[in-house]
Amino acid sequence: MFGQMQDSPLLVSQLIEHAERLYPTKRIITKTVEGDWHIYTYADAAKRSRQLSQALISLGVKQDDVIGTLAWNTFRHFECWYGISGIGAVLHTINPRLFPEQLDYIINHAEDKYLFIDTTFVPLLEALQAKLSHVKGYVIMCDEANMPTTQLPNVLCYETLLSQQDGDFAWPELDERQASSICYTSGTTGNPKGVVYSHRSSLLHSWGITGKDITSLDSQSIMLPIVPMFHANAWGLVYACPMVGAELVFPGPHLDGASVSDMINRFKVDISAAVPTVWTMLLQHLRQSGETLESLNSVLIGGSAVPRSMIQAFDQDYNVEVWQAWGMTEMSPLGSLNRPLPQDSKLSYEEQLNIRSKQGRPCFGVQMKIVDDENHELPHDGKAFGRLLVKGPWIVSQYFKMEKSALEDDGWFDTGDVATIDATGNMQITDRSKDVIKSGGEWISSIDLENAAMGHPDVLEAAVIGVSHPKWEERPLLIIVPKNKNKVPDSEALLHFLADKVAKWWLPNGVEVVDEIPHTATGKINKVGLRETFKDYQFEEAIA
Amino acid sequence: MFGQMQDSPLLVSQLIEHAERLYPTKRIITKTVEGDWHIYTYADAAKRSRQLSQALISLGVKQDDVIGTLAWNTFRHFECWYGISGIGAVLHTINPRLFPEQLDYIINHAEDKYLFIDTTFVPLLEALQAKLSHVKGYVIMCDEANMPTTQLPNVLCYETLLSQQDGDFAWPELDERQASSICYTSGTTGNPKGVVYSHRSSLLHSWGITGKDITSLDSQSIMLPIVPMFHANAWGLVYACPMVGAELVFPGPHLDGASVSDMINRFKVDISAAVPTVWTMLLQHLRQSGETLESLNSVLIGGSAVPRSMIQAFDQDYNVEVWQAWGMTEMSPLGSLNRPLPQDSKLSYEEQLNIRSKQGRPCFGVQMKIVDDENHELPHDGKAFGRLLVKGPWIVSQYFKMEKSALEDDGWFDTGDVATIDATGNMQITDRSKDVIKSGGEWISSIDLENAAMGHPDVLEAAVIGVSHPKWEERPLLIIVPKNKNKVPDSEALLHFLADKVAKWWLPNGVEVVDEIPHTATGKINKVGLRETFKDYQFEEAIA
């Protein structure tokens, strides 16, 4: 027997329509690419998003056509999110920081019909355009006064396109399974893989992240999403804010510490979201300038593990609560969030930092489990660690144009991470599955070893990889970059330093000193490259 | 092009599973039918809900079988919500306050296979059982020690049933459109009509009502749902609390002021929900006893319009914020909620009370519009009033076993209410469509007139109905019950009293004094009955 409620589809356009009806005067503020302030309301944004939909239709764009964007976080990019998806076309947010060969691969793979680009990226596209076989035209996201001289073919001006439309338009009632958007992941190996979100998954994710115990976003919030709209959907905030009527402050390309501090203080931002690198720049700027962050209550930090020192600096120096978030492009992206529990306040500050360094608890909608090599579920005791699997309506099932399911046989998605889960549901990533070192049937976390080694005063950066070993299958090799080339710590001293920080059988069997550790396009340690470099490495001696 | 996210259905069982995983030690507290306290955790509740599912299967219950409950708000009723719906059977919550002929009608109409009943309702069922053609057995919700002697056939003891099962059971992955539950509406005319909820609609509604600007429920909340689980799904709170990890305090049948005050103070309840009648009893008790409500922050009030005096008493005497809620059984039930906006605090207290007397703003997921007799949409100016239409994924499309759609041609559901909507989206019901008085092509609100007349010091209760009029089509007739039979206000004085409270052309053309105004089973004025009584009424003279 089926329920007899309305078959009312969940659509992205409902988010902006809701904001328009209930929060028409709430503001969207942008520091534009040109550097000035642009301020308008949800009512304005809704009308202009409809004008954009009309413009797309006039360009011949149809349902299922993929439209790419290479753009900063701005009001125009916001309009693209609603104007493109609203008519059943598919928004493809492109990360301009990818390598050029990855860029032309994904633009061709997705068959982007038009590209909406900020003036910043015109030179990048000029270099690529000859290879882009499906692109019919380039819409430059500015007004006529700011249009650059360019060699790009079929160039259109965003503001001119909109000015030709009246906004008298109603978004269609699509199937909620209709694709709303695509975002490609950039792995360390192989071509990027596309994740295709639906209107349904985007809406459910928005509900999932707006709970009071998750982001606490509401109509009094003023959110500064620094995480780019081309990076894992800006963590869903561009959908979540209109859902609850939160105001938005978009930073454009201005992500430096001084700009971020200015935006927070100028517009009384109370919540923001970015990767650790951005916060490092902000904290440096604050220390130098003496500026403070009176309005800011909390920062969402994700993308890579949050250093304890960053949690502590925000907390003790600026009275800002760090909420560590964890997710993946494949997860829309939110999987979990670390919000302190009231009972934690009774613990010592060090113990609190231990808890707050974890990746957090899943929001309703995301199921998590950890399993061993034989797929047996492991206990949630904060100690056992295994492959982290996830399940839920905003998690990928299949990559774009790939025949194979992205899931395990039992329908769960393997995150590629290795993690522990404690009794309060708090998950902590201990390693990537492919980086974990398998020694005598047990697992050693490369990340734990790296973090411990990074604590040594003479170490600038550390990486740990598994190297084959005749007896133990694999043993850890520690690779370091010294802070000062003239003060290289010796192997014995380093191992002694680690001895009381990790289990004895985890201690690396060798230490190598290098000038530089290779990184991927997204700033992570390139362990594939390291493993290649050290593939013939021989340990001097095996530990007992 | 469809999105390629997991086809992961939204299921009611996920709510209790989530609570079990993340909030295993959070409590569910019950004042039992027998009068003692029962306290256990979400982990306990989840296990016992699984035992109940096993027991149902052992009784031969299959997917789509309808299982009725006549029960108070208790932990056992909570288990029924998850144990029954979890296996794809359909939970039918029955309002024991219905007239006996309505009770046997709905139990037969829904084809209830088993009835789960509190000991309180055994005599009621004994009187009805001969007419119940589909019921195979009666499960009495108590342990063996409390089993009553009864003439009911095929009687089973709830605790004995559960004790025979081990709880080692996994709920199936159902289609999210599967019916989760049924609730009948009790109109003033005709047979009750069944509303069939789906797992999907129940889940989406839970997300809809847990937002920070809606109920603000989170894992620190301690919720006392006094609104019965047989009354419009207890406003969805029985699903919403496990979704966010809020603790629950169930009052059983103990709804009197002293019991409610005791529960709030004993368990530090911070949020509660009930109809105005319950709060009137509580406020009376508090005034007499001198007790206070230190832990209580807010009360959700719905079911009928909240008197200004009640908002004021909670606010000024007990520092509790009243959140007026509006909804219908057909809407799962939440449509809107009235949370004060920060900017309102600048207004005078009287103006704030005016705003807070409205029925509130829709949560995301509910679309509202008001239309005139020709279906033209009316402006949101707080003045224009018209038929209130709603749309969304947790709103009825068709009543149970009725062929006809419950919707207008354009897919909207007519609430049967007449309302205004102001520029902030705040909706105010001014009348029921069928009660509004149509005078010379204009509408007069019977409720506004009643409220104004109720303000007269000698009036105990007032009702206004439209009576046919040769010139104006209809004109209002005011019917009153005096507080004191020896001090009946005369017509002229009453009309004079109303003169500065309503528009002149709204003034009733006649006043009738009666000993009693008839009410429906749910305590509302029975206007159908009044219209029947006064169908031949003649006004003495027509106003100009």
Q: SS3 sequence, B329-370?
A: HHHCCEEEEECCCHHHHHCCHHHHHHHHCCCEEECCCCEEEE
- The one-letter amino acid code at A317 reads D
Residues of A in contact with B2 (CB under 8 A): 175, 177-179, 196, 198
Count of A–B CB contacts within 8 Å?
Answer: 183
- The one-letter amino acid code at B402 reads M
Within a domain: residue A472?
yes
Inspect the interface and report whether the beta carbons of B362 and A22 lie closer than 8 Å: yes
Within a domain: residue B130?
yes
Q: How far is B253 from chain A (nearest CA, A)?
A: 30
Whether the bond into B333 is cis, omega within 30 of 0: yes
Which residues of B participate in catalysis according to the annotation? 185, 330, 438, 443
Distance CA A411, CA A393 (A): 12
Residues B160-204 have pLDDT tens digits of: 999 999 999 999 999 999 999 999 997 656 789 999 999 999 999
Distance CA A250, CA A78 (A): 9
Q: B285 to each of B33, B141, B259, B288, B291, how far by Cα in Å?
A: 21, 30, 10, 5, 8
Q: How far is B37 from chain A (nearest CA, A)?
A: 25
**What pLDDT, on the 0 to 100 scale, is given for residue A544?**
37
Inspect the interface and report whether the beta carbons of A7 and B397 lie closer than 8 Å: yes
Inspect the interface and report whether the beta carbons of B397 and A4 lie closer than 8 Å: yes
H/E element, A17: helix A13-22
Residues of A in contact with B67 (CB under 8 A): none
Confidence at B544, pLDDT banded by 50, 70, 90: very low
Half-sphere exposure for A136 (CA within 13 Å, toward CB): 9
Residues of A in contact with B1 (CB under 8 A): 64, 90, 178-179, 196
Q: List CB contacts of B239: < 8 A, sequence separation 6 or more.
A: B12, B15, B81, B202, B203, B205, B206, B233
Domain membership of residue B66 as a residue range:
13-254
- Judging by DSSP bridges, how do beta strands B112-117 and B137-140 pair with one another? parallel
Residues of A in contact with B413 (CB under 8 A): 6
**What pLDDT, on the 0 to 100 scale, is given for residue B438?**
87
What is the residue whose two structure tokens read 């939204």? B10
Q: B360 near B327, Cβ under 8 Å?
A: no
Q: Which of A18, A181, A214, A364 is the best substitution to test chain B (most B C-beta atoms within 10 A)? A: A364
Question: Facing residues of B321 across strands?
Answer: B298
Distance CA B508, CA A51 (A): 51
> Within chain A, which residues score under 50 in pLDDT?
542-544
- Judging by DSSP bridges, how do beta strands B367-371 and B386-391 pair with one another? antiparallel
Candidates B311, B389, B309, B407; CA nearest to B356 is B311
Q: What is the chain A residue with the closest CA to B212?
A: A212
User: What is the token pair recorded at A543?
Assistant: 């530990």
Inspect the interface and report whether the beta carbons of A201 and B5 lie closer than 8 Å: yes
Inspect the interface and report whether the beta carbons of A211 and B199 lie closer than 8 Å: no
Of residues A3, A7, A398, nearest to B196 (C-beta): A3
Distance CA B396, CA B345 (A): 37
**What pLDDT, on the 0 to 100 scale, is given for residue B191?**
87
Distance CA A10, CA A221 (A): 24
- The one-letter amino acid code at A35 reads G
Q: What is the ipTM of this complex?
A: 0.91
SS3 A407: coil
User: What is the token pair recorded at A64?
Assistant: 């299922």
Q: What is the chain A residue with the closest CA to B361?
A: A22
| Rounded mean pLDDT, B438-461 | 89
Within a domain: residue A421?
no
pLDDT for B543 beyond 50: no
Inspect the interface and report whether the beta carbons of B425 and A218 lie closer than 8 Å: no
Given A254, A272, A296, the domain boundary residue is: A254
Residues of B in contact with A84 (CB under 8 A): none
Within a domain: residue A275?
no
What is the residue whose two structure tokens read 């999932």? A208
Given B254, B274, B299, the domain boundary residue is: B254
Within a domain: residue B282?
no
| Rounded mean pLDDT, B29-44 | 97
- The one-letter amino acid code at B436 reads V
Q: List CB contacts of A508: < 8 A, sequence separation 6 or more.
A: A449, A464, A475, A476, A477, A478, A495, A498
Inspect the interface and report whether the beta carbons of A220 and B361 lie closer than 8 Å: no
Q: A272 near A224, Cβ under 8 Å?
A: yes
Q: How far is B468 from chain A (nearest CA, A)?
A: 37
Inspect the interface and report whether the beta carbons of B3 and A398 lie closer than 8 Å: no
Instruction: Read off the CATH number of the domain in which B179 is found.
Output: 3.40.50.12780
Residues B286-309 have pLDDT tens digits of: 999 999 999 999 999 998 889 899
Within a domain: residue A495?
yes
What is the residue whose two structure tokens read 């290479």? A70
User: What is the token pair recorded at A42?
Assistant: 């949800």
Confidence at B541, pLDDT banded by 50, 70, 90: low
Who has greater pLDDT, A483 or B13? B13
Residues B121-172 have pLDDT tens digits of: 999 999 999 999 999 999 999 999 999 999 999 999 999 999 999 999 999 9
Distance CA A260, CA A262 (A): 5
Total domains present in chain A? 2
**What pLDDT, on the 0 to 100 scale, is given for residue B443?**
86
Of residues B22, B204, B243, nearest to A361 (C-beta): B22
Helix ranges (DSSP H) in B149-256: 158-163, 199-209, 237-244
Inspect the interface and report whether the beta carbons of B396 and A220 lie closer than 8 Å: no
Phi first, then psi: what are they for A95, rounded to 5°?
Answer: -80, 110
Distance CA A538, CA A167 (A): 68
Mean predicted lDDT score pLDDT of chain B = 94
Burial (CB < 10 A; 0-12, 13-18, 19+), residue B339, is buried
User: For residue B348, how many other CB atoms are within 10 A of its CB?
Assistant: 8
Half-sphere exposure for B404 (CA within 13 Å, toward CB): 6
Of residues A177, A179, A207, nearest to B207 (C-beta): A207
Given B198, B230, B254, the domain boundary residue is: B254
Residues B164-176 have pLDDT tens digits of: 999 999 999 999 9
Phi first, then psi: what are they for A444, rounded to 5°?
Answer: -115, 130
Inspect the interface and report whether the beta carbons of B425 and A21 lie closer than 8 Å: yes
Q: How far is A35 from chain B (nearest CA, A)?
A: 32
Residues B468-505 have pLDDT tens digits of: 888 888 999 999 999 898 989 989 999 999 999 888 88
Within a domain: residue A385?
no
| Rounded mean pLDDT, B314-336 | 97
Of residues B21, B200, B245, nearest to A3 (C-beta): B200
Inspect the interface and report whether the beta carbons of A6 and B425 lie closer than 8 Å: no
**What pLDDT, on the 0 to 100 scale, is given for residue A26?**
97
Residues of A in contact with B178 (CB under 8 A): 1-3
Instruction: Read off the CATH number of the domain in which A501 is found.
Output: 3.30.300.30
Question: Facing residues of A184 across strands?
Answer: A194
**What pLDDT, on the 0 to 100 scale, is given for residue B523?**
74
Candidates A356, A348, A258, A355; CA nearest to A299 is A356
Residues B255-266 have pLDDT tens digits of: 999 999 999 999
Residues of B in contact with A2 (CB under 8 A): 175, 177-179, 196, 198
Q: B497 near B456, Cβ under 8 Å?
A: yes
Q: A242 near A16, Cβ under 8 Å?
A: yes
Distance CA B70, CA B445 (A): 37
Q: How far is A48 from chain B (nearest CA, A)?
A: 21
Residues B336-351 have pLDDT tens digits of: 999 999 999 999 999 9
Q: A116 near A94, Cβ under 8 Å?
A: no
Distance CA A132, CA A129 (A): 5
> Is there a catalytic annotation at residue A443?
yes
**What pLDDT, on the 0 to 100 scale, is given for residue B442?**
82
> Is there a catalytic annotation at residue A81?
no
Within a domain: residue A203?
yes
- The one-letter amino acid code at B394 reads W
pTM (2 d.p.):
0.92
Residues of A in contact with B394 (CB under 8 A): 5-6
Distance CA B82, CA B86 (A): 5
Candidates A406, A418, A330; CA nearest to A371 is A418
Inspect the interface and report whether the beta carbons of A364 and B90 lie closer than 8 Å: no
